[in-house]
Each structure stands twice: as C-alpha cells, then as structure tokens.
Structure 1
Amino acid sequence: MTGSAVPRPSRGQDDLLGKPPVDPATSEASRLLCAGAHLHDGYRNAVIDQLYVQEHRVVAPSPGFDAARVLAHALRARRAERRWAAAILGVWLVTAVLTGGFFGALLLPCFLLAAAHWIRGTGRNPSVLRRVAAFLLRWYGRGLLVLGVSLIFAGAVTGLFGDDDPDESPDPYDPTAPYPSDTDPFGADSYSSSGPDILDVVTVFAWVAVLAIVALVVMVGLRRGRFARVMTEELSRQHFSDLAADPAEHTTDARFRRLQQRIRLEQHAPLIMYGEQDPFCGAGTPYRPWNLAVELRPSEDGPAEPLGNGQILRRIVPLLEALRVPSPHGSAEGAAAVRDRLRELVIDECVFLPMVGMVRREDAPYGPGAFEEHRARAIEEGGESRRHFLRIRVGGWNEEVVVTVFVRVHTQGGMLMLEVAPHVLMPVHPLFRDADRIAHRHRNNNWFGRAVWAVSHTPASLVDSIVTLGRGAVSSWRVLTAGNSGALPEGPAFSVRQLGADEEASLFQDMDINRYLKSIEDRVNGGVRLALREAGYETDEFEQKIVNIGAGGVFIGSAKDSAIGIGDHNDVRRSGPQKPPGTGSGPGTGKGPGTGKGPGTGKGPAASSDRQPKEPPKEPRAGEK
C-alpha cells in the first residue's frame, strides 16, 4: 500500500524514555465532568440528550476523558434528582390538599422568585432593564414569602397559646351569668354547634403547613448531603481510579449498556466519523490553523526523487517522538525525574470520514482492517471528504488542558501543500473544579449553617422539582417517540467536554499551551524541510515562509491572512477573523460564540465561578456555586 511507509501510531509507553498517558476513564478531567453532571442540572440534561436520547449520533472524540462514564453519572444523578423532585412536589401537593388550599398561598412567591431568575438570564452582564426587573420581582417575591410564612407561624402560635379555655365557658343555667351573644334568650341552646370553630380549623391548617415547611427544609438539606456523599465516595480522588467499583457503571438499563459499548468503541478510535458543520468537534478551539504551499523545485545538486505524502510524514514522526526524550541530566535518575507533559506525547494517524451513505450507526468501519484500508487510500488521494491526518496530542494539567495538532501534507501538480490545524481544549469549568470544595464546605459546616443554607434554597425547590420532572418526562417521551434508534446516523452536535470547559486559562496553562504548540510546529516544519532536502528539492522558498519569533518560535501565515515576515525578531500580527477571541497571548478568552474557548489573559483558574457553561446548559440553582 502507498501509505505503508508511515510509521505506525506511536504512544509514550513505546519509548522507554517516555511515559504512558493517563487512562482517560480515570483522568481528573473525567472526574470533574462526572461531578459537574451531579452539580449542574443543565449540563446533566445536555449530556443525556446528546449521548443517550439522540442515539443515532456518533460520539465526538474524547481526548483525555471517558464520555461513557460521564453519561453513567449523568443518568445516575438524574434518577436521584427525580426521586427528590417527586418527594418534594408530593409534600407540596399533599399539604395543599390537607389544608384546603391554605398552603397554596406560598406558590405565588415561589414562582415569582423563579421568574426573577429567568428574567435576569444566565449571562454575566445582563442588560440594565433585565437586572432592574429581576431585582424588583425578586424582592417582591421575598416579601410575599416572608409575609406568608409569618402568617402561618402566627396562626400556629395563636392556636397553641390562645386564651380560649373550654372550662371557663359561661354556664347557661347560671342565673347570675349574662346571656352570651350567641345564646338564644328564648331558651334555644346555641352551644350545641354543628361543627368546629373556624379558629380551630385555621390552627390545624397552620400546624400542617408548619410541618410541611420543616419537611421541605429537611429534604433540601438531605439532597445537598447526598451530593457531598457522592463527592466523598465514588467521585473522590482515592476511589475514582477504581472503575469496576463505580456504582454508576453497574446499572440494569439495557439502553445505557448498549450505548456505553458504542461510545467506548467510537470515542478513541482512529477513524473519526464527523458531521459536515464541525469536523473537528471534540478537539477544542481552533488555534490559528494555517496552511502553506510551495513549489517543488529540484535543487542544483542532483536529480530530484518522487516525493509522496507518506514519505514526508515518515520524516516528521521521528522528530516529534524525540520531544519525549528529556534533555541530558547527567544521570538516568535525573532524566526519569522529568515530569514534562511532552514525555506523554501521543502520535497517531486518523482518518476523517463523513456519515453520508450510512444507514445505521453500527455500519461505521471501526474494525482494524477497515481503518487500514481507509488510511492507505486517504494518505495519498488528497480527497475532500475523506482526509488523513497525523495527530499529535499533549494532555497537560491532568488532561484538563489538551493540545491537539492535526497535520496533513499533499503533493499535487508540482506543489507541496502543508496544512496544520492546532486545537486546544480548555480546563474544566470552574464550577465543576469547585465541586470538592463545595462538598467539603457542606460536610464540615455546623448544623446552623446547614440549616440556613437549606432554608434559603427551599423556596426554589418547588420550581426546580417541576422543571426536573418535566424535563425527565420530555426526555423519556423523546426516547419512545422520536425514532432515533432507526434514524439515519449523524455526526456529533457538540462535545460534552467542550460544553463543560472554561472560557479562559491561567497564565501558567497559557504558557504551557504555547510551549507545546511551538515545539510541535517547529518539529513539523523541520521534518518537511528535511524531507524536501533528502528528496533533492530546494528549501529556500519554504524557509522564507517561516518567521522566527524569539527563541525558535514559529508563526506561519494563516489560511485567511497569509501574513509573511522575513528576517530575525519580526513580530507578525494579524486581525483576521480566524484568531480566537480574547486578548491574551493564547487562543483567547472565549468571548466568541458557540463553545469556542481559549487560553485567556492569565486571570487564573480561581476566577469567579459565576461563568456558566455554554448553552444548552442553564445556570445552576442559586447557591450552588
């Protein structure tokens, strides 16, 4: 085959001086995304909809994490939330019936508070009109809620400490006693009333309402305690590495078991089934993708040899593998102590294949023989829809920052085209990273602090319960009626990893991202230059299109701008739309649309956790941050 000359996929464990990458199923990124599925209901619903309801969609590549495990915890969290929501809503309904609608007076302020949250929206900087309207509605609802609860407790206390004493009621046969106002002077006995006094009824209703309020507060507190226990047990750093002991993996849901196998077959496969709208879905934010075209001119030293795509890649791979080797330290112990993430560099080949023409999701050719056939054809054909890439990946910060560089070469008509598409996966969202702190704070808080937290979150429990049960019912209805099991297969709509990512990185992470990218791009350029020289072609034009920045950094004209700089210490800047949004030196601060994210301005991972994941997740319940 024409592509057999390319070295086989190489991973860090194949080199004695390299280190094996962390298992995606037990990585820190997987653990935090699983925690986010328990903590953030919007993210949980998005994961279930993408990976469970829409079963005709192929899962996006999952670099550094296990999407099947995230789905398992999302389903487990939804089952638990459904039970809590049903119990809370049941208390509201039963209490409203027992009190004859008396307890229903608290419904209005609860819905007003929920409406205030909806009006403000999930954006970080809502409009002034939204903020003013939400502020007025929120405090109006709070005032009504305080008034209603005060009247309920006042009714209960009045009935308990009232002045009415049945032993001191006037005797109708006592001639010295005055006639009561409700006594018939003609001898009718009005004390034989047909029903209980209205004050007694109100007192009973008030006490039922008080007990219901106490029950709701306790249930809200216990629900929070369950999340703390999950973070302490199966999602703790000590227990998460044991995949077999994870209770979320052991479920009787036949649909999940079937989808779990499909996800784990697809998410790390070298064959990538993609959707036309976003072929690199799952890899992260594009970071200055660029291409380069040079004329293949034979050098004056001798005749040039035929130069194929596989031959060029064969020269690039050894240079990339050398990045795993630590610099000389004088001893083997010193080299082994190096913890640079480049030692875990992963190099392999992948083929992008569209979903067009397939009838079932299971028809995708994920077998090793089928992939070899597609690879051998795609590496030299230079097709439009089926594309071969050399994929280089570095997972830093416990797989929370993943840098992936896709490299494609093609020779046609005496021209060499080099395409490089770097992508960056940003750290996990701050709310998810704070899951351990949230759980620890709850476990170690005193009883009064826990009670205050539960009381403050009880008013929102009614609307949350209705929304939770409603979304669960809609999801189940879609599973039964949407016909996704028999639908034509499609590519992923979005990546659950990108959806749960932050919009910016810390300064240290930003520096690492740029170091990884510059190191990889420099070796790629060096390999192409070496392949041209060995095949007897001139390299002057190629070298002129490489701009040296600082200490060996490389920036090549992008596909949009074709910015070129010649000479030493040149600074090439561009304002094209392909630059990811942001003001930092990295891919940006993620102010752009969609799920685009990139290293930011160095504000650090401890930035405010009020930044929420992109749609479709909604803002978490108040106080969960």
Structure 2
Amino acid sequence: MPGVSLPEHRYSRTEATRLLCAGVYLDAGFRRRVIEELVDHRERPVAPPNGVDVLPVLSHALRAVGQEVRTARLLLAVWAGFLLSDVLMCWDSLSDRWGVDADVGSADVLTALLQGDDRLTGGMPLPWSLLYALVALGLWLAHRAGGKGAVARAAGLPDPVAKAADGAGSLLTWAATGFALFYWYWYLSCLLAGEAQTPYPALFPLALTLVAWAHQSAQRRSLCRWLSRWTFADARQPDLPGGPLFEDLRDDIRREQEAFLTLYDDDSPFVGLGDRGTPWSFAMELRERPRPDGALPHQNTGPLTAHAALAMIEPQLTGLRESAARTGKDRLRDLEIDRIVYLPGGVARDEELEIGGAAAPVTRSTGHRGGLPVHDPAQVAAHLREAVDEGGEGRRVFLRVRVGAWHEQIVVTVLVRVHTQGRMLVLEVEPYVLGPVRKDFRAVDTFVDRLPETWPRAALRALRHAPAVGVGTGIAALGTLRGTRFTGWSDREPIPDVPRASLRALAATRQLTVFQRMDATRYVKTVQERIVGGVREALKAHGYRTEEFEQHVYQLSGGSVFIGAMSGGAVATGSNGRATHTHQGTAPGNAAAPQGGA
C-alpha cells in the first residue's frame, strides 16, 4: 500500500521541526507521546503551530516505531532460543545423570535450572541465559540512571532538586554498573574457562549484539539521510503509512495547522506558548477632540472599533519588520503578524457547522450541505470578521505577534486584544516566551558529525552497548504495543476535545541563556512600544483625545511605572512600596520613581 505523502508547511523546514524529528529516534518516551497525541487521540485538534510542522515529526515517530517493533521481535526470538537451549541442555544433562529410562519432567528441568546445575553452568547459580539477562538489565539500569539529573534540570526543577536527582542517579549508576560488571566477569570467566559444554552461551550474546547493531545502524542512517543539518533543507521526508486513517489524519492536521483558529479549554487556553510573562492592560474613556468647524471628530473615519484599532497597530509592526530587514540581521525581520480566533471547545475536529450572524455566531449543522469543518478557511474568516468587535467572553480574537529567534529555539509571542464598547478603550497584552528544544535533541548534530564509523569502532560500540540497547528496545516496544495506537479504526464515536499539549512545548526546556533572555525581553518591549504607537495613532485618526492615554501608558520593567505627565502626588509600587510627596517644584513630565521593592 503506498504511503501518504506530506504537504509542505511554512514551518516544515525550521530548525525546531528538524530537532523534534530527531528527538523521536533519541527518546522513546517522547516518541510514544507524539503518537499518543496525534494518533491515539484523534478527537483532539493539534495546537497552533509554534514554529513546528508536526506531520514530519509524526512520520518519523511511526517509522522509528516500526523499526523498534521489528527489532523487538528479533530480540525476542534470540532470547527464546537462548532460554530454550538452556532448557534442552539441562534436560539432556538430567537424562544422562538419571539414566535413559528415567522419566524427566518439565518440573524437574525447571527446578534444576533455578537451583543451578554444576555440570551445566560450571558452578554458577543460574543458567547462562538468565545470567546474561542480569548483565543486560544491570547495564540498562546504569544507562537510564545516568540521565536522571539532566532530565530534572531540563524539566525546570529547582537546582536543589536537580542536584539531588543527579546525585541519586550517580549512586544508582555506580550500583547498577557494579552489579552488571560482577555478573559479566563471572559469565566471561566461566565461558573462557571452557565450562560451557556447547558454544551456544557465546553465540546467542553475539546474535543479540548483531541485532542491536543493526537497529542502531538503521537509526543512524535515518538521521544522516533526512535529519542532518546538511540534508534536512532539501531531503524529502518519509511518508505516513498508507490507508484511510492516515489520509484523514494528514488532512485534518494540515487544515488545523494552516487555520488561524484554535479551540481551547478554560483551564489552559494558551497551549504551547510557553511561560507567561507580565501581562499589562489599561482602560480609558474615549473623549472626542473638538474641531473648530463644529464637525464630528470621526465624521470621515467612523467611530473607533476594535477592528480599526488593530488595523492601526498592524502597520506599526509591519514597519518594524521592514526596518529590521533593511538595516541588519535582527530577528525582528522575521516578525509574524496575524489575527487568531480562540473558540471554546465542544466541537469535533471534523464536525460541520453553519456560519451564523453576530447574534448566533455558530450553530451545529443538522445535515446541511453548506456546513463546513470548524477549521475550514471560510469558517475561520467568518469568525475573524464577526468576533473582532463583539467583545464576547467565549469567542475571542487576538492579534498575535510572533518572533522565532535563535533558529526557533526562543519563541516570543505577544497576544493583543482591544475592546471599545461603552465609549471605553481597553487594551490587553499577554506576552509568552517558549524556551529552547531539549539539549539532548540539539546534540544530534554532534552525534551525526561523527558518522559514518569505522568497522572496528562500530563493532566495539555494539559490543559495549548491545545489552542495554536490547533491553531498552524491548521495553519501548512493549510500551508501544500496550498503547491504543490504532484506535482510529474503531467505530466508537470520540468525544470532541481541545488541544491538550503542544509537541514543541513538550520538547522545550525553561533554561534560557543570558543572551536569550535579554533578546526575549527586548522583543517583548519593542513590540509593546509599537502597540502603544498604533493605539495612539488610532485615537488621533478617529478624533479622540490622547492626553489621558499618554498618562495611562504603563511600561512595565521590573515593576516600575513610567508616567508621561504628573504634577504633584506620589506613586509607589510593590507589596512593600512607600511613597511620600514633598513640594520641591518637580517639573511635569519627570518620572516618579517607586520606592520599595517591586
């Protein structure tokens, strides 16, 4: 069956997409989470793309799972042969010892295996297969324990917790390594001393090593072919598996990633945007500026609406982007500006809806052929048109400003909403910062640069890592098979849901470097300044006074408040703030500095 080809998206070739594709080969847990979110829970729409196209990530995850399952089957066959050889050798040993006419049962063989047979194992307490299994399990535990501290730091836990996890991981690593080396030395000593009656105790570990070697080689070929920094820009990524399930899934995800609309849950509306910054807002009464000729201030422009205010902010941001593109290499040259609708959940991703008016913005379709899926471009355009000025509590339109900096490692998003009802102007600004992709995912370039390996080096690596790789692959395959990967084939009607997780956010850390944090702060402040400029121009263009607006402009920086004009009085901020006023003839327009912690 031919595969399902992947459409191109504006984020299909970003660095974040490449690193997440590589991450599904490097982390089995992340790989399972990708499949769980995109395949197992087909009732959930995907979160808005934040610099990542999730379709190639899913394609690589499914491909890695296929390799994993094939490898697990081979490993299971080898281990079954290993254990069966022990059983047969024990059975033969008991038959020779008890006589040809003796009735040797399976219970006798099992007892002999567990108690140890000197003639079979050379004095070892366990048969060869179980002893080698202890070696493999110990090495796998040592490998897993070694990364606990790094995982804790990547999760953004406090330093004491991360250090404790690192110390516990190191202790467990030493203990597991010592355990594995003890039994490995015992195993090799008996094998080299000629205690084995047949060569199978050496052949089966060699077979396990070859299977693990083939598995690792296949992963390395995939990374080099599709996901290296040199090939990713031009390589055609692998297709999704064939069949109607993945065809429908591809179409749904493509439509949702291209739509400027997302469904949300009340508890977590802004899924995938990262850490929330300091929000700020202000409210002011719209006071008309009198004109000498007595005409209405907005006779030619009309009253100030939310749509009109956003339309005045957008050119300010567009000018910022064009200026940055002309004058340097600042990431503001790639500033993204669009409007996005946040719609309450409760609608299935493929449910057809009828576009209604402002009073009834959307109604469920009852067989109407003109109905459209909620993420259809016509539906999205209708929501953008109808909801921008309604000021509703559920359906909301935001101006979304996005900067993908440091090769999409730092994502700054600023959401802007304007209200103009009741002769009031209310501006709401919500900034978010999403951290870089996990460090172990970013290390894929260092790993790929060392490839291809020489045969001796690859053979030594396979011998050293094969026991741990075999156990890890088997456990990961069991976790995959235990999941509900093919629930899309079920006739059960899924309950409509909302995006619960963003793959980009799942692969992100909260550890920003000093320069990254400086840049994120600069982007937020620059965008906020342009937003203020756009609102100021909107007030002037529609004939409203701007004096009160100038006095209500808050530039939040470490808790301080800048006031454009003030004559007399005092200002204090912070829980311990304290302000006093003494008449010293302070000139109007000076900043009133806060006293006390902000």
Any conservation in 2 of the 1:549–1:570 contact (CA below 8 Å)?
Answer: no
1:235 aligns with 2:196: no
CA offsets 1:521-571 (integer angstroms, 9 cap, x no match): 111111111212232322223222324589xx9989xxx989999965677
Which residues in structure 2 correspond to 1:95-106 (within 5 Å)? 95-100=82-87, 101-106=127-132
Aligned partner of 2:281 in structure 1 is: 291
Aligned partner of 1:514 in structure 2 is: 521
Give, in whole Å, the separation in 1 of the partners of 2:230 and 2:349: 43
Amino acid of the residue matched to residue 249 of structure 2?
A: L
CA offsets 1:83-120 (integer angstroms, 9 cap, x no match): 22222232222112112243112333444555667788
**Which of the residues 28, 38, 42 maps onto 1:55?**
42
Amino acid of the residue matched to residue 219 of structure 1?
A: V
Aligned partner of 2:338 in structure 1 is: 348
Given the superposition, is the C-alpha separation of residues 353 and 459 from structure 1 closer, same or farther in structure 2, using an over 3 Å criterion? same
Q: What number of residue pairs does the alignment pair up?
A: 497
Amino acid of the residue matched to residue 26 of structure 1?
A: R
Which residues in structure 2 correspond to 1:99-138 (within 5 Å)? 99-100=86-87, 101-112=127-138, 114=140, 121=148, 122-124=151-153, 138=173
Amino acid of the residue matched to residue 310 of structure 2?
A: L
Matched residue SS, 1:486: coil
Tell me the percent identity: 35
CA offsets 1:270-310 (integer angstroms, 9 cap, x no match): 12222322211133322222222122233455755432111
Give, in whole Å, the separation in 1 of the partners of 2:145 and 2:23: 24
Given the superposition, is the C-alpha separation of residues 549 and 49 from structure 1 closer, same or farther in structure 2, using an over 3 Å criterion? closer
The range that moved more, 521-530 or 422-431, is: 422-431
Give, in whole Å, the separation in 2 of the partners of 1:134 and 1:203: 40
Where in structure 2 are there 5+ consecutive unaligned residues? 1-7, 88-126, 154-159, 354-372, 564-572, 580-587
Given the superposition, is the C-alpha separation of residues 71 and 158 from structure 1 closer, same or farther in structure 2, using an over 3 Å criterion? same
The range that moved more, 455-464 or 374-383, is: 455-464
Amino acid of the residue matched to residue 478 of structure 2?
A: G
Aligned partner of 1:323 in structure 2 is: 320
Any conservation in 1 of the 2:578–2:595 contact (CA below 8 Å)?
Answer: no
Any conservation in 2 of the 1:394–1:404 contact (CA below 8 Å)?
Answer: yes
**Which of the residues 375, 380, 388 maps onto 1:379?**
388
Given the superposition, is the C-alpha separation of residues 383 and 131 from structure 1 closer, same or farther in structure 2, using an over 3 Å criterion? closer
Amino acid of the residue matched to residue 326 of structure 1?
A: S
Any conservation in 1 of the 2:265–2:498 contact (CA below 8 Å)?
Answer: yes
Matched residue SS, 2:193: helix
Give, in whole Å, the separation in 1 of the partners of 2:462 and 2:412: 42
Give, in whole Å, the separation in 1 of the partners of 2:561 and 2:246: 46
Which residues in structure 2 correspond to 1:455-474 (within 5 Å)? 455-474=463-482
Aligned partner of 1:615 in structure 2 is: none
Given the superposition, is the C-alpha separation of residues 323 and 296 from structure 1 closer, same or farther in structure 2, using an over 3 Å criterion? same
Given the superposition, is the C-alpha separation of residues 223 and 491 from structure 1 closer, same or farther in structure 2, using an over 3 Å criterion? same
Give, in whole Å, the separation in 2 of the partners of 1:450 and 1:555: 63
Any conservation in 1 of the 2:562–2:591 contact (CA below 8 Å)?
Answer: no
- 1:223, distance to aligned residue in structure 2 (A): 2.5
Amino acid of the residue matched to residue 492 of structure 1?
A: P
1:401 aligns with 2:401: no
- 1:149, distance to aligned residue in structure 2 (A): 3.2
- 1:31, distance to aligned residue in structure 2 (A): 0.9
CA offsets 1:500-531 (integer angstroms, 9 cap, x no match): 11222333333332232222111111111121
Aligned partner of 1:596 in structure 2 is: none
- 1:397, distance to aligned residue in structure 2 (A): 2.8
Which residues in structure 2 correspond to 1:202-281 (within 5 Å)? 202-204=196-198, 207-242=199-234, 245-246=236-237, 248-249=238-239, 251-281=241-271
- 1:357, distance to aligned residue in structure 2 (A): 5.0
Any conservation in 2 of the 1:112–1:137 contact (CA below 8 Å)?
Answer: no
- 1:55, distance to aligned residue in structure 2 (A): 0.5
Give, in whole Å, the separation in 2 of the partners of 1:564 and 1:226: 66
The range that moved more, 81-90 or 562-571, is: 562-571
The range that moved more, 487-496 or 388-397, is: 388-397
Given the superposition, is the C-alpha separation of residues 524 and 555 from structure 1 closer, same or farther in structure 2, using an over 3 Å criterion? farther
Give, in whole Å, the separation in 1 of the partners of 2:378 and 2:595: 46
Aligned partner of 2:535 in structure 1 is: 528
- 1:462, distance to aligned residue in structure 2 (A): 4.2
CA offsets 1:412-463 (integer angstroms, 9 cap, x no match): 223211111122232222111111211223534x555444433343332343
Give, in whole Å, the separation in 2 of the partners of 1:40 and 1:297: 59
**Which of the residues 448, 461, 467 maps onto 1:453?**
461
Give, in whole Å, the separation in 1 of the partners of 2:322 and 2:285: 34
Give, in whole Å, the separation in 2 of the partners of 1:232 and 1:84: 20
Give, in whole Å, the separation in 2 of the partners of 1:547 and 1:251: 53
Matched residue SS, 1:492: coil
Matched residue SS, 1:273: strand
CA offsets 1:576-616 (integer angstroms, 9 cap, x no match): 9xxxxxxxxxxxxxxxxxxxxxxxxxxxxxxxxxxxxxxxx
CA offsets 1:47-88 (integer angstroms, 9 cap, x no match): 110011110000001122211111111111111122222222
Give, in whole Å, the separation in 1 of the partners of 2:516 and 2:167: 38
Give, in whole Å, the separation in 2 of the partners of 1:256 and 1:485: 17
Give, in whole Å, the separation in 2 of the partners of 1:140 and 1:372: 61
Aligned partner of 2:419 in structure 1 is: 410
Matched residue SS, 1:541: helix
Aligned partner of 1:436 in structure 2 is: 445
Aligned partner of 1:78 in structure 2 is: 65
Give, in whole Å, the separation in 1 of the partners of 2:130 and 2:543: 86
Give, in whole Å, the separation in 2 of the partners of 1:571 and 1:387: 36
**Which of the residues 307, 311, 314 maps onto 1:310?**
307
- 1:321, distance to aligned residue in structure 2 (A): 1.1
Given the superposition, is the C-alpha separation of residues 147 and 356 from structure 1 closer, same or farther in structure 2, using an over 3 Å criterion? closer
- 1:265, distance to aligned residue in structure 2 (A): 0.8
Give, in whole Å, the separation in 2 of the partners of 1:547 and 1:400: 29
Aligned partner of 1:606 in structure 2 is: none
Any conservation in 2 of the 1:86–1:469 contact (CA below 8 Å)?
Answer: no
Aligned partner of 1:32 in structure 2 is: 19
Kindly report the root-mean-square deviation, in angstroms, between the aligned alpha carbons of the 2 structures.
3.6
Amino acid of the residue matched to residue 85 of structure 1?
A: A
**Which of the residues 185, 191, 203 maps onto 1:150?**
185
Matched residue SS, 1:505: coil
Give, in whole Å, the separation in 2 of the partners of 1:342 and 1:134: 42
Give, in whole Å, the separation in 2 of the partners of 1:485 and 1:573: 62
Give, in whole Å, the separation in 2 of the partners of 1:468 and 1:573: 57
Give, in whole Å, the separation in 1 of the partners of 2:555 and 2:163: 48
**Which of the residues 537, 543, 547 maps onto 2:550?**
543
Give, in whole Å, the separation in 1 of the partners of 2:253 and 2:541: 43
